[in-house]
Amino acid sequence: MDNVITAIRVVPLEHYFFLSFLLFSIGMAGALLRRNIIIVIMCLELMLNSVNLLLVALSAFHGDPGGQVMVFFIMLVAAAEVTVGLAILVQLKRNADGVDINQLNRLKW
């Protein structure tokens, strides 16, 4: 365990911030801009994991295991979320033609 922490500390903390921010932005841009639902869901996962990365890094630098615990919670929720997301995806594929997010437009007014 200690050497993992040491390994993490080899890289300066700022770099983790930059990487995390970059990943989050890519995820957000993808989620907003892409029309394929599979890509949108993948982007959501990317955003979640960017936060995970930052949590692990901060946990190591501060010597606080609470950050790692939080990571497990997020992974659990992400797994549940992706299950539901993929189920909707399958239903969409079956009932509508294709996986375009703009097909989900009947809930209005």
Binding stretches for another protein (CB under 8 A): 28, 31-32, 35, 40, 101-102, 104-109
Q: Which is nearer to another protein, 28 or 74 (CB)?
A: 28
CB of 40 to another protein, least distance (A): 8
CB of 34 to another protein, least distance (A): 9
Q: Which is nearer to another protein, 11 or 29 (CB)?
A: 29
Contact yes or no for 25/50 (Cβ under 8 A): no
CB of 70 to another protein, least distance (A): 18
Its sign, for the CA torsion 105, 46, 77, 18, is negative
Token couple for 61 = 């630098």
51 burial level (CB within 10 Å; 0-12, 13-18, 19+): middle
CB of 109 to another protein, least distance (A): 5
Q: Which is nearer to another protein, 31 or 71 (CB)?
A: 31
Q: Which is nearer to another protein, 19 or 28 (CB)?
A: 28
4 burial level (CB within 10 Å; 0-12, 13-18, 19+): exposed
